[in-house]
């Protein structure tokens, strides 16, 4: 039996424990939803005020130069690069994940169209995040490609000489399952296909090695594990071998080689800067930089290797404690136990009541979230036996090693035990659905 004392002792020995004070969390809250919206860096509040009152209020338009506003997409991109195994100068922070995915998938289809015109399919995973599938569906319609969706254990088998692009999300948002990026990228290359990776649940959560994997394109999210604030700019990476080959489809003036020449014709900037479109949300960029600076601070205490080690320890502990203390309450585990296949979240399954249990936990200050399983079930009906846990709803808990400790895990599971043991979740107020789950 693991005790709260054991967990407090582990916190005292944790090399990352000093990073907790870089974040502001409300008193009495155990925040297990950093995979959806990361916590606020303490520095962000003052930094945004400074950007508003000084840089905007006093500097006015001069701040594009004097405060470095104009270079923020590249500057922030350089802080993201080491987290994802990319080099400086290869990443920009800009736009949303959805929009960046549109740009890179479009570029990938252009390259495939030139190098391999007979290839007609984009392969992805059926349980990929919906916006990724919607963007891909729209582009496929527009460009005359087929979007071929498969279960995660059928990805390799789906790669063939008609595959133009393999588009995947590295860590699955519903289950926390992590795909083998190096292996699948190698399989795609062997089949002659390009790869697009979505790192929304990976960047800042698990070490990523885009170059080592020989990936082609990647996008990711700024407001999840990077703690950039609601609607923070996302990021985009294109391998240097492709970056200059094509215009990206949203060829706005910020991606122009010399935007302030105001020429009527478009001349793309060299490298990743052409993946910018229009004027950037500077205030959001300043908040995102504070989130990224927490990873700069983490470098001094072990960096992403230490983050990963703690993430696995936290998720192992959560799984063990739930199985020890909440047994007999109908909970299952959707997240792989195998470390190599696990991201930084744990998803529990339950046939009924998952939404209400999450609501009851939130009322007790333990913030996780709920994801429905039913839509996947409907799609999976054409393949009997493929639904597995999909007829169960999901209770999702994200673990952010920068600000979550072992005692937090113990206390969260104790609250979950009490919610289940007292049937507290059956109360009507916990069974009313809100717009955002
Ligand atoms: C969170 C997430 C997104 C979010 O896209 P937005 O454009 O920021 O709304 C996209 N894809 C995946 C896989 C995600 O997890």
Domains of the chain listed by start with CATH number:
4-31+304-431 (3.90.1150.10), 50-297 (3.40.640.10)
Using CA atoms, how far residue 90 sits from 38, 78, 130, 360, in Å, is 24, 8, 27, 44
Query: pTM of this prediction?
Result: 0.96
Q: Among the atoms of ligand 1, which is closest to the Cα of residue 100?
A: 7
| Percent of residues, the chain, with pLDDT higher than 90 | 93
Binding-site residues, ligand 1, Cβ < 6 A: 96-98, 129, 131-132, 169, 173, 198, 200-201, 221, 234
Q: pLDDT for 310-365, tens place per residue?
A: 999 999 999 999 999 999 999 999 999 999 999 999 999 999 999 999 999 999 99
Q: Confidence band (pLDDT; 50, 70, 90) for 385?
A: very low
For residues 245 and 226, the answer to whether their CB atoms sit within 8 Å is no
SS3 string, 226-240, reads CCCCCCCCEEEEECH
Residue 82 annotated as binding site? no
Residue 195 annotated as binding site? no
Q: pLDDT for 111-141, tens place per residue?
A: 999 999 999 999 999 999 999 999 999 999 9
Taking the C-alpha atoms of 103, 107, 110 and 112 in order, what is their torsion angle to the nearest 10 degrees? -130
Q: pLDDT for 290-319, tens place per residue?
A: 999 999 999 999 999 999 999 999 999 999
For the record, the structure tokens of 358 come out as 């999450």
Q: Confidence band (pLDDT; 50, 70, 90) for 391?
A: confident
Q: Among the atoms of ligand 1, which is closest to the Cα of residue 96?
A: 7
Name the active-site residue from 103, 224, 350, 364.
224
Substitution candidate for ligand 1 out of 33, 204, 221 with most atoms within 8 A of CB: 221
Residues whose CB is less than 8 angstroms from the CB of residue 355 and which lie 6 or more positions away in sequence, other chains included? 370, 393, 431, 433, 437
Q: Confidence band (pLDDT; 50, 70, 90) for 384?
A: very low
Residue 169 annotated as binding site? yes
Least confident of 43-47, 356-360, 381-385: 381-385
Residue 201 annotated as binding site? yes
Residue 404 annotated as binding site? no
For residues 139 and 121, the answer to whether their CB atoms sit within 8 Å is no
CA-nearest residue for atom 15, ligand 1, is 200
Q: What is the mean pLDDT of residues 147-164?
A: 97
Quote the mean pLDDT of the chain: 95
Task: State whether the Cα torsion 317-14-400-153 is positive or negative.
Answer: negative
Q: pLDDT for 162-220, tens place per residue?
A: 999 999 999 999 999 999 999 999 999 999 999 999 999 999 999 999 999 999 999 99
Q: What is the mean pLDDT of residues 72-93?
A: 98
Q: How far is the CA of 378 from the centre of ligand 1 (A)?
A: 22
Substitution candidate for ligand 1 out of 104, 200, 224, 236 with most atoms within 8 A of CB: 200
* DSSP count for the chain of H helices, then E strands: 15, 15
Helices 130-143 and 97-115 cross at an angle (nearest 10°) of 40
Q: How far is the CA of 218 from the centre of ligand 1 (A)?
A: 13
Q: How far is the CA of 98 from the centre of ligand 1 (A)?
A: 6
Would you state the pLDDT for residue 31? 98
Residue 130 annotated as binding site? yes
Q: How far is the CA of 200 from the centre of ligand 1 (A)?
A: 6
CA-nearest residue for atom 1, ligand 1, is 200
Q: Confidence band (pLDDT; 50, 70, 90) for 390?
A: low
Would you state the pLDDT for residue 1? 86
CA-nearest residue for atom 2, ligand 1, is 200
Q: What is the mean pLDDT of residues 277-296?
A: 98
Q: What is the mean pLDDT of residues 256-269?
A: 96
CA-nearest residue for atom 3, ligand 1, is 97
Would you state the pLDDT for residue 436? 81
Q: Is 408 a catalytic residue?
A: no
Q: How far is the CA of 282 from the centre of ligand 1 (A)?
A: 20
CA-nearest residue for atom 14, ligand 1, is 200
Name the active-site residue from 145, 173, 223, 295.
223
Q: Is 223 a catalytic residue?
A: yes
Using CA atoms, how far residue 231 sits from 25, 72, 273, 311, 322, in Å, is 19, 16, 21, 24, 32
Q: What is the mean pLDDT of residues 224-242?
A: 98
Would you state the pLDDT for residue 387? 42
Q: Is 6 a catalytic residue?
A: no
Helices 282-299 and 303-325 cross at an angle (nearest 10°) of 90
3-class DSSP state for residue 370? strand
| Percent of residues, the chain, with pLDDT higher than 70 | 96
Q: How far is the CA of 196 from the centre of ligand 1 (A)?
A: 14
For residues 308 and 83, the answer to whether their CB atoms sit within 8 Å is no
Q: Is 310 a catalytic residue?
A: no
CA distance 226 to 234: 10
Would you state the pLDDT for residue 381? 41
Residue 146 annotated as binding site? no
Q: Is 21 a catalytic residue?
A: no
- Write down the residue that tokens 């998938």 correspond to: 105
CA distance 110 to 245: 9
Q: How far is the CA of 223 from the centre of ligand 1 (A)?
A: 9
């Amino acid at each position: 039996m693991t005790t709260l004392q054991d967990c407090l002792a582990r916190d005292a020995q944790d090399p990352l424990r000093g990073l907790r004070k870089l974040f502001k969390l409300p008193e009495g809250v155990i925040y297990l939803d950093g995979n959806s919206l990361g916590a606020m860096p303490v520095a962000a509040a003052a930094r945004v005020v400074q950007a508003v009152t000084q840089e905007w209020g006093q500097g006015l338009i001069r701040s594009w130069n004097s405060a470095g506003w104009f270079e923020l997409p590249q500057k922030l991109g350089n802080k993201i690069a080491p987290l994802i195994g990319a080099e400086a100068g290869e990443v920009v922070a800009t736009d949303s994940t959805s929009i960046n995915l549109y740009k890179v998938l479009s570029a990938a289809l252009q390259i495939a169209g030139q190098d391999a015109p007979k290839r007609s399919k984009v392969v992805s995973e059926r349980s990929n995040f919906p916006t990724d599938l919607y963007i891909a569906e729209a582009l496929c319609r527009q460009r005359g490609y087929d979007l071929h969706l498969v279960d995660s254990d059928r990805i390799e088998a789906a790669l063939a000489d008609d595959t133009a692009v393999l588009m995947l999300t590295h860590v699955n948002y519903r289950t926390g399952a992590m795909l083998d990026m190096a292996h699948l990228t190698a399989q795609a290359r062997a089949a002659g296909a390009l790869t697009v990776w979505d790192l929304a649940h990976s960047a800042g959560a698990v070490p990523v090695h885009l170059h080592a994997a020989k990936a082609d394109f990647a996008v990711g999210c700024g407001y999840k594990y990077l703690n950039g604030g609601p609607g923070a700019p996302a990021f985009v990476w294109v391998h240097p071998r492709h970056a200059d080959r094509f215009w990206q489809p949203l060829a706005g003036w910020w991606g122009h080689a010399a935007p302030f020449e105001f020429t009527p014709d478009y001349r793309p900037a060299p490298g990743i800067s052409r993946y910018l479109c229009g004027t950037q949300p500077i205030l959001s960029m300043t908040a995102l930089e504070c989130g990224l600076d927490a990873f700069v601070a983490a470098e001094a205490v072990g960096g992403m290797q230490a983050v990963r080690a703690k993430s696995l320890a936290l998720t192992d502990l959560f799984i063990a404690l739930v199985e020890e203390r909440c047994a007999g309450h109908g909970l299952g585990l959707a997240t792989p136990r195998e470390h190599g296949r696990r991201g930084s979240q744990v998803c529990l399954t339950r046939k009924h009541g998952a939404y209400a249990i999450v609501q009851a936990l939130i009322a007790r200050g333990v913030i996780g979230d709920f994801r429905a399983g039913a839509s996947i079930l409907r799609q999976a009906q054409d393949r009997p036996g493929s639904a597995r846990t999909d007829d169960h709803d999901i209770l999702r808990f994200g673990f952010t090693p920068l600000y979550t400790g072992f005692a937090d895990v113990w206390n969260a599971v104790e609250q979950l035990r009490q919610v289940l043991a007292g049937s507290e979740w059956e109360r009507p107020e916990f069974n009313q659905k809100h717009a955002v789950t």
